[in-house]
Structure 1
Amino acid sequence: MCASYGLDPRFTDAEGLADADEAVLDGLRSWAQHNAGETLRPTGRNLRNLNPVVTATDGAAALEAAWWGFLVDGQPARFPSINTRSERLQDRPGALRTRGLVPATGWYEMQKPERIWHEFGLGRGVLFSMAAVTQRGRTPDGDGVTCYSIVMRPAPPHLADIHDRMPVLIPTAFADDWLHGDPTRDLIDEALLAAAGLDERVAAVPRGDDRGAQTLF
């Protein structure tokens, strides 16, 4: 499953979001620069965990700060919630009611039993989007917030020996469909088909134990 991911402020716009305007891209750069391009990690019970996510607001793509993982009664859910299996959404498409796009330039997984971290991505500085399902929650401070869970799928054969799962990457041409499409089994099926079109471009780079350094792509 997706253990962590990063957003490098030096990203290119080529693989951006289908209907994102320059304000959204500038917002992503500002957030990444403020966080020094550091890798995102799930946080502890008493820490802030707000990260940029693109959601559908009034029919258009909008950037908002969202919480990675679901919050229940003001606390992180007792069940694993930073990732959601695509198979679960196929069986229960009602969970697709609200969705988002998680911008990233790389994600990180540990290869076992070697315990070697790898960075996955589409190339140096290439911005891409990971599919997410969202729901409303309340932070430990009592503030209402959008929560998100990254949708995961089985990895293709050339990556499966490193890790058996990967995020569902949403190509630019399918971004609008993911944000605005009807929450049905067809939507997740079509997202998986669109994501498979990017499989050959996904590469992994060994990172040792350091997930916070600058990208090696």
Structure 2
Amino acid sequence: MCASYGLDPRFTDDELLAEADAEVIEGLRIWAEQNAGETLRPTGKNLRNLNPLLLAHDEKMALEPSWWGYLVNGEPAKFPSINTRSERLQERPAGLKTRAIVPSTGWFEMQKPARVWHEFALENQALFGMAAVTQRGRTPEGEWITCYSVVMAPAADHLKEFHDRMPVLIPPHLTHEWLTAPPSRDLMDEAILASGELAERITVSARP
């Protein structure tokens, strides 16, 4: 399951969501530079980092600092919430009521039993989107904020030797539909199919 990902400020925007405008691109680049190339990790009780999330706002794409993982009663959920299985959303499409896209240049998984970290990315540090579902939550300080969970599906065949799951990738042509269409089993099925096509271009490299 996706436990960390990256957003390199040197990204190219070849694969960026068709709806993203120059302001969104610049906002992502500024955030990534300020983050100094640090790997993005879930926000927890003792870690308060808000990550950029892309949501639909007035028929356009908007960038919003958001909390990775769900908040319940003012604290991080006690159940696993940073990832959501695509199979669960296929069975219960109501879980797709509110959705977002996580901008990334690569995600990281540990290969077992060797315990070697690997990065999964497109060529040329291309920026791509990972599917997410969202809900509102209240921080320990009482602030209401958008929380997100990355949608995970079975890994593409050429990636299974490294990890059996991978994020659902949202290609540009599906951006608007993923963010705005009514929740349904068909929407999740379409996203998984489109993700499989984009996943063929994902390459893997060992991390020191």
1:192 and 2:192 are equivalent in the alignment: yes
Query: 1:76 aligns to what?
Result: 76
Q: Deviations 1:76-133 (Å, cap 9, x if unpaired)?
A: 0000000000000001110100000000000000000000000001123210000000
1:207 is aligned with what amino acid?
Answer: R
1:44-59 map, 5 Å: 44-59=44-59
Query: Residue 137 of structure 1 aligns with which residue?
Result: 137
In the other structure, the counterpart of 1:170 is 170
| CA-CA distance at 1:41 after TM superposition | 1.1
What are the superposed Cα offsets for residues 42-93 of structure 1, whole Å, 9 maximum, x if unpaired? Answer: 2330331310000011221100001000000110000000000000000111
Equivalence for 1:150: 150
Q: How many residues align?
A: 208
Post-superposition, which runs of at least 4 consecutive aligned residues in structure 1 deviate over 2 A?
Answer: none
Q: Bigger shift: 46-55 or 171-180?
A: 46-55
Which amino acid is the alignment partner of residue 164 of structure 2?
D
Q: Distance in 2 between matches of 1:89 and 1:49?
A: 27
> Do residues 94 (structure 1) and 100 (structure 2) align?
no
Give the 3-state SS of the residue equivalent to 1:40 in structure 2: coil
Alignment of 1:205 with 2:205, yes or no, is yes
- Counterpart of 1:114 in structure 2 is 114
Does structure 2 retain, via aligned residues, the 8 Å contact 1:154–1:166? yes
Give the TM-score normalised by the residue count of structure 1: 0.94
Matched letter for residue 27 of structure 1: G
Q: For the residues of structure 2 that align with 1:57 and 1:111, how far apart are their CA atoms? A: 38
How far the C-alpha of 1:189 sits from its partner, in A, is 0.4
Percent pairwise identity: 65
Residue 105 to residue 14, structure 1, CA distance change in 2 (3 Å): same
1:136 is paired with a residue whose SS is strand
* Letter paired with 1:56: A
SS in 2 for 1:39: coil
> Does residue 182 of the first structure (1) align with residue 201 of the second (2)?
no
Secondary structure in 2 matching 1:190: helix
Aligned equivalents of 2:126 and 2:13: distance in 1?
A: 7
User: Are the aligned partners of 1:46 and 1:140 in contact in 2 as well (CA < 8 Å)?
Assistant: no
Alpha-carbon distance in structure 1 between the residues aligned to 2:26 and 2:178: 22
Residue of structure 2 in register with 1:43 after alignment: 43
Partners of 1:137 and 1:144 within 8 A in 2: yes
State the SS of the aligned residue for 1:198: helix
Q: CA RMSD in A?
A: 0.9
Q: 1: CA distance between counterparts of 2:72 and 2:152?
A: 22
Structure 1 alignment gaps of length 5 or more: 209-217
Q: Partner residue of 2:62? A: 62
Task: Write the deviation string for residues 7-37 of structure 1: whole angstroms up to 9, x where unpaired.
Answer: 0001111111111110000000010000012
Contact 2:7 2:106 in 1 (8 A): yes
SS in 1 for 2:192: helix
Gaps of 5+ in 2: none
Deviations 1:167-196 (A, max 9, x none): 000001111110011101010000001111
